[in-house]
Amino acid sequence: MWSEPQPFVVSVSVKTRGCDGYPDEDSDESYNLSVSEGQAVLRSVTVWGALRGLESFSQLVYQDDYGSVSIIVDFPRFAFRGLLLDTSRHYLPLHAILKTLDAMAYSKFNVFHWHIVDDPSFPYQSRTFPDLSNKGAFHPFTHVYTQSDVMRVIEHARMRGIRVIPEFDSPGHTQSWGKGQPNLLTPCYKGDVPSGSFGPVDPTVDTTYKFMESLLKEVKFVFPDSYVHLGGDEVSFACWQSNPNVRTFMEKMGFGKDFTKLESFYMERTSIVWQDVFDYHERVRLLPDTVLEIWKGETYQAELSRMTKAGHRVLLSAPWYINHISYGQDWRNSYAVQPQNFSGTEEQKKLVIGGEVAMWGEYVDATNLNPRLWPRACAAAERLWSDEEKTLNADLAFPRLEKFRCELLRRGIQAEPLFVGHCKHEYDGL
Amino acid sequence: MWSEPQPFVVSVSVKTRGCDGYPDEDSDESYNLSVSEGQAVLRSVTVWGALRGLESFSQLVYQDDYGSVSIIVDFPRFAFRGLLLDTSRHYLPLHAILKTLDAMAYSKFNVFHWHIVDDPSFPYQSRTFPDLSNKGAFHPFTHVYTQSDVMRVIEHARMRGIRVIPEFDSPGHTQSWGKGQPNLLTPCYKGDVPSGSFGPVDPTVDTTYKFMESLLKEVKFVFPDSYVHLGGDEVSFACWQSNPNVRTFMEKMGFGKDFTKLESFYMERTSIVWQDVFDYHERVRLLPDTVLEIWKGETYQAELSRMTKAGHRVLLSAPWYINHISYGQDWRNSYAVQPQNFSGTEEQKKLVIGGEVAMWGEYVDATNLNPRLWPRACAAAERLWSDEEKTLNADLAFPRLEKFRCELLRRGIQAEPLFVGHCKHEYDGL
């Protein structure tokens, strides 16, 4: 005999308006959820907090037989909990991105860092410069993101309280840009003659700045987020050095032989940049509200210390480059990360605004994205949302993450197993 | 302007009957395919050769504008080209197995080694002993292979010229068997009292042999292949040693303290077994037509040499344990394998009947099976089918494998990328 299902009332009250708003780094994501017999009450200051609370509520297996009451007061440890997808090394069809956003919401990620273009391909279909994708995408029709695709990603994300930060990485990582935009890249020289190959963006000519201004104006219009990630990483100076025009420009500007000054001259913008910009330009101008993202693995504690000492806000990504795989339970490493464990003052520690899981695309496309991301990314998500001490132990996390992985499967996310075992509802392989 | 499509005639002629037959290790898979303007002629001795030829034909991009003629005379290098799936550590839904068989046919694999049961679960639903899966499967209804499931796998495989060799590994790897079959496993002792845990199958009691005889009788009836893989690997002797009845039995049989003799006593059957049976029992009885499978990585050349010297046919699997993953282009390792490169006579080399790709299930289920298998398994498949010298170089294989991977995608197989790039038809992530 089954008992009659009882009506269950969930009431949600949100203090401020903003259903049509866009989340930002100051968004209050805290919520207060109390569940008792026959009803749940969810209170939050903003709609974003309400979304997080509803997500938690959906994950509760509720038993009211004993009239149990549970009260959850929950809030994120870090305001920036990001995930990077790389759509240049391989093209990710729109549905793969939307599905990733769904799974991000289940894990309470709130920033989608869209590394949309890079050397191998330029899939962003620009209104101002359509040739960038016409000539720089893997295919001009099937391997591009149209304006309507981009809108759909942004709205799908917003409905889940997720910001979309696009990255247009320059002056390096721009080989694909050069195909659709003549005279943008620096011609490399072999001796006195151009070698036929091209280096980073040419920072010595006015046309470069006019182009970048127009492109970024469009990008800032299309993407509502206040951040645009401008990359700035891994700039090779060899090609610049080989080019006689660049050398003349260096002399004229009084940069001597210091090409980091040339990069700095180019990079002067307010935005998130990769750590290289700081490493090279500590004594050069870098606007104080630039957010720095740490990606180099071995020395990240030292970098955290130096950058926050200089007053910069930082994002930690290095230990969560989960495109790197190894055999076995490598998700355990993600639990060991302590973003605020570096030598520095309390003030410095507050400058760590969060972290980011990175899924670079050398070996990843829609065929293996989901099992490689999930549930491995959840470990970082938990570290970024929850209490530091309570989530540090991977052995204690194991049953929690295993259960959550089955929940992801039930919701149609192709999340891979942590170890031997089973879920009630398996992925059916179709 | 497009020219009118021309009629294209494919004629297939097969010398012998046998459409309703079952492939075996002596099946002739060779074929002769000639393609010329407007027609293709495929000739083979058996239906299995015709299947291989049609597969090749389907992969040809045919251009008849220049009236080109191509003639393919093709045959496998090794008669045994296997792939192992493990359905005990994780349950693989039926569709995942059927899809794997499809992809196997595309790569001309011809043996599906079904490691169907093991310690963690017993999903095979036996007619004779239904409690084995009722109590030993992860779930008695949702995580089992019914008789009709097994029939479907066998017929799906047969239609693709693939044999199905089931593995019922014992006397070790049988923890799940013990749940549904009382008194099968050896009770381990702590001092003079049973510890409550169980070891391998108890080889000292008649009931064990009666049970095994009934079970294997059923298995040999259900699976039409002439081979049953009986495992025999990784038997821990500690539990046997702790058990006073086993020690008494050892004395009675005159085995002294040599537990390998006890295992050998148990294993005396004609079948494929893992190499351990040979390693332990070189001087003990092992029927000469037993096929030995090499799974230990470091020393496989030496094992090949020793086993073939003893006159045994061998299967090489050790270097193709592709459940082991590492970051980057690890598919390259599979091309370096040379199954006949060991010290021995020509006669010995002929005893290498083939090889097998293994996808063990510790970290694999239907969520990540396909991208982990494909196209990585294709590298081994090519080594096992094609000419040794022509396929040894991984750099030369790269564009070939990349193209084949796109072909797999087009056919709906979630095959992961080898490196940066794209396919015309991407997997859509749905």
The DSSP string of A98-152 is: HHHHHHHHHTT--EEEEE---SS---B--SS-THHHHHHSSSTTTS-B-HHHHHH
Nearest to A427 among B324, B367, B417 (CB): B367
Where are the domain boundaries for CATH 3.30.379.10 in chain B?
9-74
Average pLDDT over residues B168-176: 95
Residue that is written with structure tokens 């006019």 in the block: A210
Residue A17: the pLDDT is 85
A61 — pLDDT class (breaks 50, 70, 90) = low
Please choose, from the candidates B291, B271, B279, B199, the residue with its C-alpha nearest in 3D space to the C-alpha of residue B233: B279
Q: A417–B364: do the CB atoms touch at under 8 Å? A: yes
**Which two tokens mark B104?**
């196997």
Residue A272: the pLDDT is 59
Residue A282: the pLDDT is 47
- B142 contacts in A (CB within 8 Å)? 424, 426
Average pLDDT over residues B161-178: 95
Residue B66: the pLDDT is 53
- Cα separation of A381 and A54, whole Å? 17
Residue of A nearest to B141 (CA): A424
Residue A281: the pLDDT is 53
- Cα separation of B357 and B8, whole Å? 37
Distances (CA, A) of A90 to A232, B350, B372, B420: 21, 44, 17, 6
- Asked if residue A284 has pLDDT above 60, the reply is no
Residue B273: the pLDDT is 60
Average pLDDT over residues A340-369: 96
Residue that is written with structure tokens 């938990």 in the block: A382
B284 — pLDDT class (breaks 50, 70, 90) = very low
Nearest to B143 among A138, A371, A422 (CB): A422
Q: B422–A367: do the CB atoms touch at under 8 Å? A: no
* Residue B415 in contact with partner chain A when CB distance is under 8 A: yes
Q: B371–A371: do the CB atoms touch at under 8 Å? A: yes
A174 versus A8: the higher-pLDDT residue is A174
Residue A227: the pLDDT is 85
B188 versus A272: the higher-pLDDT residue is B188
Total residue count of chain A as it appears in this document: 430
Average pLDDT over residues A215-230: 90
Contact between A312 and A288 (Cβ < 8 Å): yes
Average pLDDT, chain B: 90
Condensed to tens digits (0 to 9), the pLDDT of residues B225-244 reads 988 888 888 888 999 999 99
Residue B384: the pLDDT is 97
B363 — pLDDT class (breaks 50, 70, 90) = very high
DSSP state of A6: P
B191 — pLDDT class (breaks 50, 70, 90) = very high
- What letter represents residue A391's amino acid? T
Q: Best mutation site among B368, B369, B407 for testing chain A: the one with the most A CBs within 10 Å?
A: B368
Condensed to tens digits (0 to 9), the pLDDT of residues A303-336 reads 999 999 999 899 999 999 999 999 999 999 999 9
- Asked if residue A354 has pLDDT above 70, the reply is yes
- Asked if residue B403 has pLDDT above 50, the reply is yes
Average pLDDT over residues A92-102: 97
Can you tell me the ipTM of this complex? Answer: 0.90
* Residue B96 in contact with partner chain A when CB distance is under 8 A: yes
* Residue B411 in contact with partner chain A when CB distance is under 8 A: no
Q: Is A206 exposed, middle or buried (0-12, 13-18, 19+ CB in 10 A)?
A: exposed
Nearest to A417 among B363, B416, B426 (CB): B363
- A96 contacts in B (CB within 8 Å)? 428-429
- Asked if residue B269 has pLDDT above 70, the reply is no
- Stretch 371-390 of chain B: residues touching chain A, C-beta under 8 Å: 371-372
Average pLDDT over residues B310-339: 94
**Which two tokens mark B90?**
């994780």
Average pLDDT, chain A: 90
By mean pLDDT, which of A286-290, B203-207, B287-291 is the weakest?
A286-290
* Residue A85 in contact with partner chain B when CB distance is under 8 A: no
Contact between A366 and B416 (Cβ < 8 Å): no
- Cα separation of B181 and B190, whole Å? 23
B274 — pLDDT class (breaks 50, 70, 90) = low
B270 — pLDDT class (breaks 50, 70, 90) = very low
Condensed to tens digits (0 to 9), the pLDDT of residues B34-55 reads 988 788 899 999 999 999 999 9
Residue that is written with structure tokens 């097998």 in the block: B356
Please choose, from the candidates A56, A114, A108, the residue with its C-alpha nearest in 3D space to the C-alpha of residue A78: A108
Contact between B69 and B34 (Cβ < 8 Å): yes
Q: A428–B121: do the CB atoms touch at under 8 Å? A: no
DSSP state of A68: -
- Cα separation of A422 and B37, whole Å? 54
By mean pLDDT, which of A47-61, A106-120, A145-159, B160-174 is the weakest?
A47-61
Q: Rounded to the nearest 10 degrees, what angle do helices A244-253 and A259-267 cross at?
A: 80
Residue A105: the pLDDT is 96
- Asked if residue A286 has pLDDT above 50, the reply is yes
* Residue A415 in contact with partner chain B when CB distance is under 8 A: yes
Residue B234: the pLDDT is 83
Q: B121–A422: do the CB atoms touch at under 8 Å? A: yes
Residue A4: the pLDDT is 66
* Residue B1 in contact with partner chain A when CB distance is under 8 A: no
- Compute CA B368 distance to the chain's CA centroid, rounded to the nearest angstrom: 19
CATH architecture, domain B80-411: Alpha-Beta Barrel (3.20)
Contact between A317 and A295 (Cβ < 8 Å): yes
A&B contacts, CB < 8 Å: 144
- Asked if residue A276 has pLDDT above 80, the reply is no
> B9-74 — its CATH code?
3.30.379.10
Residue B275: the pLDDT is 66
* Residue B364 in contact with partner chain A when CB distance is under 8 A: yes
- A418 contacts in B (CB within 8 Å)? 363
* Residue B370 in contact with partner chain A when CB distance is under 8 A: yes
User: Minimal Cα–Cα distance from B62 to chain A, Å?
Assistant: 23
User: Minimal Cα–Cα distance from B329 to chain A, Å?
Assistant: 8
Contact between B111 and B79 (Cβ < 8 Å): no
Most confident of A32-46, B16-30, B91-105: B91-105
Distances (CA, A) of B407 to A217, A356, B60, B331, B383: 41, 35, 11, 17, 19
Q: Terminus-to-terminus CA distance in chain B, angstroms?
A: 36
Contact between A24 and A225 (Cβ < 8 Å): yes
A300 versus A81: the higher-pLDDT residue is A81
- Compute CA B230 distance to the chain's CA centroid, rounded to the nearest angstrom: 13
Three-class SS string for chain B? CCCCCCCCEEEEEECCCCCCCCCCCCCCCCEEEEEECCEEEEEECCHHHHHHHHHHHHHCCCCCCCCCCEEEEECCCCCEEEEEEECCCCCCCHHHHHHHHHHHHHCCCCEEEEECCCCCCCCECCCCCCHHHHHHCCCCCCCCECHHHHHHHHHHHHCCCCEEEEEEEECCCCHHHHHHCCCCEEEEEECCEEEEEEEEECCCCHHHHHHHHHHHHHHHHHCCCCCCEEECCCCCCHHHHHCHHHHHHHHHHCCCCCHHHHHHHHHCCCCEEECHHHHHCCCCCCCCCCEEEECCCCCHHHHHHHHHHCCCEEEECHHHECCCCECCCCCHHHHCCCCCCCCCCHHHHHCEEEEEEEECCCCCCCCCHHHHHCCHHHHHHHHHHCCCHHHCCHHHHHHHHHHHHHHHHHCCCCCCCCCCCCCCCCCCCC
- A329 contacts in B (CB within 8 Å)? 363
- B123 contacts in A (CB within 8 Å)? none
Where are the domain boundaries for CATH 3.20.20.80 in chain A?
80-411
Average pLDDT over residues A235-241: 92
In 3-state terms chain A splits into helix, strand, coil percentages (rounded to 5) of: 35, 20, 45
B4 — pLDDT class (breaks 50, 70, 90) = low
User: Minimal Cα–Cα distance from A100 to chain B, Å?
Assistant: 10
Average pLDDT over residues B292-311: 87
High-pLDDT (> 70) share of chain B, %: 91
Catalytic residue numbers of A? 234
- What letter represents residue B63's amino acid? Q
Residue B243: the pLDDT is 96
By mean pLDDT, which of A236-240, A270-274, A402-406 is the weakest?
A270-274
- What letter represents residue A83's amino acid? L
- Cα separation of B215 and B168, whole Å? 10
Residue A348 has φ and ψ, to the nearest 5°, of: -60, -45
User: Minimal Cα–Cα distance from A327 to chain B, Å?
Assistant: 5
- B89 contacts in A (CB within 8 Å)? 420
- A324 contacts in B (CB within 8 Å)? 327
Residue B35: the pLDDT is 86
Examine residue A120 and say whether the peptide bond preceding it is cis (omega within 30 degrees of 0): no
Contact between A48 and A23 (Cβ < 8 Å): yes
Residue B63: the pLDDT is 44
Q: Best mutation site among B101, B117, B426, B430 for testing chain A: the one with the most A CBs within 10 Å?
A: B426
- Asked if residue B60 has pLDDT above 70, the reply is yes
- What letter represents residue B113's amino acid? H
User: Minimal Cα–Cα distance from A414 to chain B, Å?
Assistant: 5
Q: B99–A429: do the CB atoms touch at under 8 Å? A: yes
Q: Best mutation site among A422, A423, A428 for testing chain B: the one with the most B CBs within 10 Å?
A: A422
- A121 contacts in B (CB within 8 Å)? 422
By mean pLDDT, which of A133-147, A185-199, A203-217 is the weakest?
A203-217
**Pairing mode, if any, of strands A31-36 and A39-44?**
antiparallel
- Asked if residue B113 has pLDDT above 90, the reply is yes
- What letter represents residue A222's amino acid? V
B289 — pLDDT class (breaks 50, 70, 90) = confident
**Which two tokens mark A378?**
């959840």
Average pLDDT over residues B58-66: 61
Residue of B37, B234, B251, B282 marked catalytic: B234
Residue that is written with structure tokens 């949309």 in the block: A116
Residue B283: the pLDDT is 42
User: Minimal Cα–Cα distance from B370 to chain A, Å?
Assistant: 8
Residue A226: the pLDDT is 84
